[in-house]
């Protein structure tokens, strides 16, 4: 019969297309041993300039011993989501400590850094709401926005005039339909320190725009938490802004705190909502207690040694200056940002060739004892794909000699490969 | 009604699943209960609005009062008026390892659950029937914990980089090879969070122009992954193979909705054990359908890996099938292995593709080393490679516990949903007041249970869910059963009027599962 024939004839595509063997992302670097300051990559010992271990807490003995005692008390896993016997006293303690540290009312913990902002945004912004987001927002934010099904309006990176234009357009739309405008929520999503470009957002201007156009601000502080500000409280401390002006601050604990997971903090009015509607919170197992204990100890160290932030910033300035003037590579990022990008000054035509060229630079450095990596992106999925670059990460553990060595090695590599 | 199916030899053993219909009187009373609660809810909201009653939830800042309200009043109606009353049954904080017995921090509320204070006392040795600890690997002593401690002191707790950049440790490679061997597939990849495994890999596998056929009762992570992928989603009735076959036929014959072009791929999303129903997927029939209609199968074994099958290899082994028939085998390490994270196993091309294009590999931090070590040790234990028979014994103990517990509960006269072999046991409560009452009464008798209501379940089908564990001894189960019996009599929960009627070789009717013969 006809239907049987159709069923016979139909041929689906293969489940996955084959991946060429020399695809740059297929062959991972294998790290044997802990990914700390001195790292053994593919068998070679190098100085680590690629892991986001900003405050050097990955190998800290106090953090490890706090995690050990937690392991002896609780075992490894929590065997349940927060609602069903997965809430441990360590989780409650960590949430209290984070809220106190950031000087907000409440904090909520997620067990996975990516899921933090990707669950927070859809909890508040639904279909029909409007979100203004920076072009250079990281992938987690993009996924959160996609899950929320709201109207997304991109504004040019750090361009307040462009944002104001979009807000004004929205205002004129509102006047045409005031009933709808009264129920459409508006949000601005920005990052404190952008992962893709290494610069900060102009937060004071954003606060002015917030009150002028009545939009709420969600701030993603994964890179700036534990880096900016006098005590490491992030970009609000850096600019001296009242923390209550920001509606929601989200950060992951995988960078400065050298643990796993993420948190959101803000007023109870806002954070409490996520306890029932944050998907990554309600439907997923809670954070293993040993990681929560490691995070608490890391917070203790951050509070006891507020001068490491200044040390880190000084090192960032030093290497930022040292990397200027490399022929063929330009430095992208603020001078106090610990995660910068080195992009090619002139592209050779196709992204593939750029990536191959940068790979040769990275291999040269790895063979001489400096571990670097290229910044990885999903090329087809990103909304605004950044150009290929080498990621340079500065940590507090790197000595001045090592910073200078890295800079001179990069100069050499650029010379030999690009010229 | 019990369906004992011997469907043309596809099933090598009887498939015993039952969902007894809600008795009519109970359904009516439940609706009445919700009606009363809603009326009171409106009354209280009215009193709060007119300041007769103090409003106790957090409010918006003064400076932002003229912003568009963040939450619709109606969205939170259920939260304020129904959930708040019984809120103490959830989020109970514990302060010991989540094993068979657990210590809980005592908390009291002086203002009807709006705020909690901790008295500082610890309620010790509560029998834990709520944690997903199927094989009892949530331990603070033993080989797993020692190995994890060693790795923790060597590697540290975090990783601070993504898999594709500098976060791929030798431990991860070791884990993936082991998991592939355990499952019987060519290769596997592990991720840091089970929820994220689904929500980040389904979009990598299917996209626009593909069709996803997903079960009615799939988990939020599968639903989110399907939505994020951009493919068309069609839902088939829970575990109903006729519904699935009809959808498959229609899809291939008619093609995409407007353009009539053929679909690029069809992906069927099912779970091994459904955690709210306790039912097991009809895997032999699904695989037969999949082969007939040339579609792909994504099996989420979050609850079934380690818990089903004579050696704990999951639902594929339970039915005696070939793991290579399942295109994508996904599972989590949180439940049976006492750790955290998820994995995907399958053919080498699939895993290579995921290593390159999975969102998690590119943007998310890799797994923490001590957690990886816990998984490695527990998998080796289950496989018997650590030289002991502990793993095998645990799997058998779990199966025995399951059969015993379910049989006893049914004898007592409760309505229990789900398959006879599933360690997830939902006991129906139906009425909203009984949800809170059951949780509190069981806690008074030192047994910790999980109760679920709307919106995780349909509004009249609220239930208590027991998760059995290999760590539960027969004495613990007997104590628990005695207390459940008492509370069942106290709260009048013994609704069952079942009469056992075995139906042989009956085709599954699309409209209802149930039939009563009086």
Residue B22 confidence (pLDDT)? 81
- Are A72 and B159 in contact (CB < 8 Å)? no
Residues A287, A311 within the same domain: no
Distance from CA of B17 to the nearest CA of A (A): 25
Distance from CA of A35 to the nearest CA of B (A): 7
Residue B267 confidence (pLDDT)? 93
DSSP character at residue B1: -
| pLDDT tens digits for range B415-454 | 888 888 899 999 988 888 888 899 899 999 999 999 998 8
Nearest CB partner across the interface for B371, out of A16, A76, A273 = A76
Where among A253, A274, A304 does a domain terminate? A304
Residues A265, A209 within the same domain: yes
The structure tokens listed for A245 are 């002006």
User: Half-sphere exposure of residue A128, counting CA atoms within 13 Å on the CB side?
Assistant: 6
Residues A35, A109 within the same domain: no
Distance from CA of A39 to the nearest CA of B (A): 10
Does residue A13 form part of some domain?
A: no
Architecture of domain B19-128+388-498: Alpha-Beta Complex (3.90)
Residue B347 confidence (pLDDT)? 92
The three-point CA angle A402-A24-A349 to 5° equals 95
- Of the candidates B253, B331, B190, B290, the one whose C-alpha atom is nearest the C-alpha of residue A15 is B290
Nearest CB partner across the interface for B340, out of A25, A111, A275 = A111
Q: Taking the C-alpha atoms of A323, A324, A328 and A333 in order, what is their torsion angle to the nearest 10 degrees? A: 80
Question: Residue A167 and residue A165: Cα distance in Å, rounded?
Answer: 5
Residues A316, A412 within the same domain: yes
Chain A residues with CB inside 8 Å of B91's CB? 82-83, 87, 275
| pLDDT tens digits for range B150-193 | 999 998 888 888 888 888 888 999 999 999 999 999 999 999 89
* DSSP notation for A278-295: -HHHHSSBPPPHHHHHHH
For residue A416, the tally of other CB atoms under 10 A from its CB is 11
Distance from CA of B82 to the nearest CA of A (A): 13
Place of tokens 């957690």: B371
Residue ranges per structural domain of chain B: 19-128+388-498, 143-383
**What CATH number does domain B143-383 carry, 3.40.50.920, 3.30.70.270, 3.40.50.150, 3.40.640.10?**
3.40.640.10
Residue B475 confidence (pLDDT)? 92
Place of tokens 């999925």: A381
Does residue A298 form part of some domain?
A: yes
Strand pairing class (A329-332; A339-344): antiparallel
Sign, CA dihedral B378-B381-B382-B383, equals positive
Residue of A nearest to B83 (CA): A276
Residue B193 near residue B340 (C-beta atoms within 8 A): yes
User: Half-sphere exposure of residue A125, counting CA atoms within 13 Å on the CB side?
Assistant: 31
Chain B residues with CB inside 8 Å of A185's CB? 68-70
Residues A294, A403 within the same domain: no
Residues A156, A220 within the same domain: yes
| ipTM of the complex as predicted | 0.92
Q: Which of A2, A6, A8, A16 to mutate to test the interface with B (most CBs of B within 10 A)?
A: A16
Residues A119, A256 within the same domain: yes
Cis (ω within 30 of 0) for the bond into B455? yes
- Are B365 and A33 in contact (CB < 8 Å)? no
For residue A212, the tally of other CB atoms under 10 A from its CB is 11
Residue B191 near residue A106 (C-beta atoms within 8 A): no
Residues A348, A385 within the same domain: yes
- Are B98 and A25 in contact (CB < 8 Å)? no
For residue B72, the tally of other CB atoms under 10 A from its CB is 11
Question: Residue B380 and residue B386: Cα distance in Å, rounded?
Answer: 6
- Are A143 and B360 in contact (CB < 8 Å)? no
CATH number reported for the structural domain that contains residue A371 in this entry:
3.90.1150.10
Where among A304, A335, A362 does a domain terminate? A304
Tens-binned pLDDT, residue by residue, of chain A (419 aa): 777 887 788 888 888 888 888 787 788 888 888 888 888 888 889 999 988 989 988 888 999 999 999 999 998 888 889 989 999 999 999 999 999 999 999 999 999 999 999 999 999 998 889 999 999 899 999 999 999 999 999 999 999 999 999 999 999 988 998 888 888 899 999 998 898 888 899 999 999 999 999 899 999 998 899 888 888 898 999 999 999 889 999 998 888 888 999 999 999 889 988 888 888 898 999 999 999 999 999 999 999 988 999 999 999 999 888 888 888 888 888 888 898 898 888 887 888 888 888 888 888 888 888 888 888 888 888 888 888 989 999 988 888 888 888 888 888 888 888 77
Residue A37 near residue A393 (C-beta atoms within 8 A): no
CATH number reported for the structural domain that contains residue A280 in this entry:
3.40.640.10
Indicate the SS3 state at residue A187: strand
Chain A residues with CB inside 8 Å of B93's CB? 87-89, 91-92
The structure tokens listed for A280 are 């990554």
Query: Reading across the β-sheet that carries A38-41, which strands appear in turn?
Result: A38-41, A44-48, A370-371
Question: Residue A392 and residue A371: Cα distance in Å, rounded?
Answer: 9
Give one word for B293, left, alpha or beta, with left for phi > 0 and alpha for psi -120 to 50: alpha
Question: Residue A108 and residue A333: Cα distance in Å, rounded?
Answer: 30
What is the H or E stretch that residue A391 is in? strand A389-393
Residue A257 near residue A222 (C-beta atoms within 8 A): no
Where among A304, A326, A353 does a domain terminate? A304
* DSSP notation for B169-233: BHHHHHHHHHHHHHHTSSEEEEES-HHHHHHHHHHHH--TT-EEEEETT--HHHHHHHHHHT-EE
Three-class HEC string of B486-517: HHHHHHCCCCCCCCCCCECCCCCCCCCCCCCC
| pTM listed for this prediction | 0.91
Query: Reading across the β-sheet that carries A329-332, which strands appear in turn?
Result: A329-332, A339-344, A389-393, A373-374
Chain B residues with CB inside 8 Å of A288's CB? 339-340, 368, 371
What is the H or E stretch that residue B124 is in? strand B117-128
Question: Residue B38 and residue B452: Cα distance in Å, rounded?
Answer: 19
The structure tokens listed for A410 are 């990069």
Does residue A3 form part of some domain?
A: no
Helix runs in A103-177, H state only: 113-124, 139-148, 160-176
Does residue A65 form part of some domain?
A: no
Query: B223 CB contacts (<8 Å, ≥6 apart)?
Result: B214
CA distances from residue B33 to B430, B433, B459 in whole angstroms, order as listed: 10, 8, 11
CA distances from residue A161 to A186, A203, A239, B258, B300 in whole angstroms, order as listed: 18, 14, 20, 42, 48
Q: How many structural domains does chain A have?
A: 2
Residues A85, A225 within the same domain: yes
Domain extent, residue A91, equals 76-304
Residue A256 confidence (pLDDT)? 87
Q: What residues in chain B have per-residue pLDDT under 50? A: 1-6, 499-518
The structure tokens listed for A92 are 């409650």
Residues A187, A285 within the same domain: yes
Residues A281, A328 within the same domain: no
- Of the candidates B136, B71, B126, B80, the one whose C-alpha atom is nearest the C-alpha of residue B104 is B126
Nearest CB partner across the interface for B91, out of A50, A83, A139 = A83
How many contacts, defined by CB atoms under 8 Å, are there between A and B? Answer: 351
Q: Taking the C-alpha atoms of A332, A334, A339 and A345 in order, what is their torsion angle to the nearest 10 degrees? A: 10
Task: Tell me the helix, strand and coil percentages in chain B, rounded to 5.
Answer: 40, 15, 45
Please report the beta strands in B368-479, taking only residues with DSSP state E, as ranges in sequence order. Answer: 418-419, 424-428, 447-448, 450-452, 463-467
Question: Residue B426 and residue B464: Cα distance in Å, rounded?
Answer: 6
Residues A217, A330 within the same domain: no
Residue B511 confidence (pLDDT)? 38
Please report the beta strands in B308-449, taking only residues with DSSP state E, as ranges in sequence order. Answer: 328-332, 342-346, 418-419, 424-428, 447-448
Nearest CB partner across the interface for B71, out of A48, A184, A273 = A273
Question: Residue A58 and residue B421: Cα distance in Å, rounded?
Answer: 44
For residue B322, the tally of other CB atoms under 10 A from its CB is 9
Question: Residue A220 and residue A264: Cα distance in Å, rounded?
Answer: 9
């Amino acid at each position: 019969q006809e239907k049987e024939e159709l069923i016979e004839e139909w041929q689906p595509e293969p489940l996955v297309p084959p991946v060429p063997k020399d695809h740059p992302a297929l062959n991972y670097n294998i790290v044997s041993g802990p990914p700390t300051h001195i790292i053994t990559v593919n068998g070679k010992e190098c100085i680590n300039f690629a892991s986001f271990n900003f405050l050097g807490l990955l190998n800290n003995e106090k953090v490890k011993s706090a995690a050990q005692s937690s392991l002896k008390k609780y075992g490894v896993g929590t065997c349940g989501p927060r609602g069903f016997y997965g809430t441990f006293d360590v989780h409650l303690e960590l949430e209290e400590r984070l809220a106190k540290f950031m000087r907000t009312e409440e904090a909520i913990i997620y067990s996975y850094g990516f899921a933090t902002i990707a669950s927070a945004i859809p909890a508040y912004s639904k279909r029909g709401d409007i979100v203004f987001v920076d072009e250079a927002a990281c992938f987690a934010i993009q996924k959160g926005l996609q899950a929320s099904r709201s109207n997304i309006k991109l504004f040019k990176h750090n361009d307040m005039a462009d944002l104001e234009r979009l807000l004004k357009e929205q205002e004129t739309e509102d006047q045409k339909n005031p009933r709808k405008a009264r129920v459409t929520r508006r949000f601005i999503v920005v990052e404190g320190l952008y992962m893709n470009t290494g610069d900060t957002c102009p937060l004071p201007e954003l606060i002015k725009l917030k009150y002028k156009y009545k939009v709420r601000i969600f701030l993603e502080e994964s890179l700036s938490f534990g880096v900016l500000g006098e005590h490491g409280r992030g970009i609000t401390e850096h600019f001296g802004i009242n923390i209550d002006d920001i509606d929601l601050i989200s950060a992951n604990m995988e960078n400065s705190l050298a643990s796993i997971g993420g948190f959101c903090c803000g007023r109870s009015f806002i954070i409490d909502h996520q306890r029932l509607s944050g998907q990554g919170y309600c439907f997923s197992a809670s954070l293993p207690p040993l990681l929560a204990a490691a995070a608490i100890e890391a917070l203790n160290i951050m509070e006891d040694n507020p001068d490491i932030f200044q040390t880190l910033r000084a090192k960032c300035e030093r290497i930022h200056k040292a990397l200027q003037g490399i022929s063929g590579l330009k430095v992208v990022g603020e001078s106090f940002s610990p995660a910068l990008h080195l992009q090619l000054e002139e592209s050779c035509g196709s992204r593939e060739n750029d990536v191959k060229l940068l790979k040769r630079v990275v291999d040269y450095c790895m063979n001489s004892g400096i571990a670097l990596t290229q910044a990885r992106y999903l090329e087809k999925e990103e909304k605004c794909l950044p150009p290929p670059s080498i990621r340079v990460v500065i940590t507090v553990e790197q000595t001045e000699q090592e910073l200078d060595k890295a800079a001179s090695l990069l100069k050499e590599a650029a010379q030999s490969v690009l010229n | 009604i019990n369906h004992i199916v011997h469907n043309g030899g596809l099933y090598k053993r009887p498939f015993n699943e039952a969902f007894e219909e809600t008795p009519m009187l109970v359904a009516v009373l439940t609706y009445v209960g919700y009606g009363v609660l809603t009326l009171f809810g409106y009354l209280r909201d009215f009193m709060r609005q007119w300041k007769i009653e103090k409003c106790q939830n957090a409010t918006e800042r003064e400076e932002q009062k003229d912003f568009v309200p963040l939450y619709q009043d109606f969205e939170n109606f259920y939260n304020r008026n129904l959930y708040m009353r019984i809120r103490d049954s959830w989020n109970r904080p514990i302060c010991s390892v989540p094993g068979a017995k657990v210590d809980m921090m005592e908390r009291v509320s002086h203002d009807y659950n709006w705020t909690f204070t901790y008295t500082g006392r610890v309620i010790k040795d509560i029998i834990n029937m709520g944690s997903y600890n199927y094989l009892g690997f949530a331990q603070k002593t033993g080989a797993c914990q020692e190995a994890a401690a060693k790795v923790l002191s060597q590697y540290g707790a975090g990783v601070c980089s993504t898999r594709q950049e500098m976060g791929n440790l030798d431990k991860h490679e070791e884990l993936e090879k082991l998991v592939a061997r355990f499952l019987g597939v060519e290769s596997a990849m592990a991720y840091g969070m089970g929820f994220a495994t689904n929500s980040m890999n389904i979009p990598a596998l299917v996209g626009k122009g593909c069709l996803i056929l997903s079960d009615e009762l799939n988990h939020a992570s599968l639903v989110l992954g399907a939505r994020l992928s951009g493919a068309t989603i069609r839902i088939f009735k829970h575990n109903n193979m006729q519904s699935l076959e009809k959808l498959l036929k229609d899809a291939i014959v008619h093609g995409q909705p407007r353009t009539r072009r053929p679909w690029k791929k069809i992906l069927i999303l099912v779970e091994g054990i459904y955690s709210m129903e306790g039912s097991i997927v009809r895997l032999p029939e699904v695989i037969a359908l999949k082969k007939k209609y040339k579609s792909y199968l994504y099996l989420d074994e979050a609850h079934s890996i380690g818990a089903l099958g004579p050696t704990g290899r999951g639902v594929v082994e339970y039915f005696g099938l070939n793991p290579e028939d399942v295109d994508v085998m996904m599972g989590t390490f949180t439940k049976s292995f006492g750790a955290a994270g998820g994995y995907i196993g399958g053919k080498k091309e699939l895993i290579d593709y995921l290593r390159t294009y999975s969102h998690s590999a590119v943007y998310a931090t890799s797994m923490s080393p001590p957690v990886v070590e816990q998984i490695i040790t527990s998998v080796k234990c289950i496989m018997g490679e650590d030289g002991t028979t502990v793993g095998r014994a645990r799997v058998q103990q779990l199966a025995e516990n399951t059969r015993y517990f379910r049989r006893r509960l049914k004898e007592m006269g409760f309505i229990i949903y789900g398959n006879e072999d599933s360690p997830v046991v939902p006991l129906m409560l139906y009425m909203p007041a009984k949800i809170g009452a059951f949780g509190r009464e069981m806690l008074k008798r030192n047994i910790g249970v999980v109760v679920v209501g709307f919106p995780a379940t349909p509004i009249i089908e609220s239930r208590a869910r027991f998760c059995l564990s290999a760590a539960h001894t027969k004495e613990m189960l007997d104590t628990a059963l005695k207390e459940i019996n008492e509370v069942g009599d106290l709260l009048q929960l013994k609704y069952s009027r079942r009469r056992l009627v075995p139906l042989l070789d009956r085709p599954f009717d699309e409209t209802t599962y149930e039939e009563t013969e009086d």
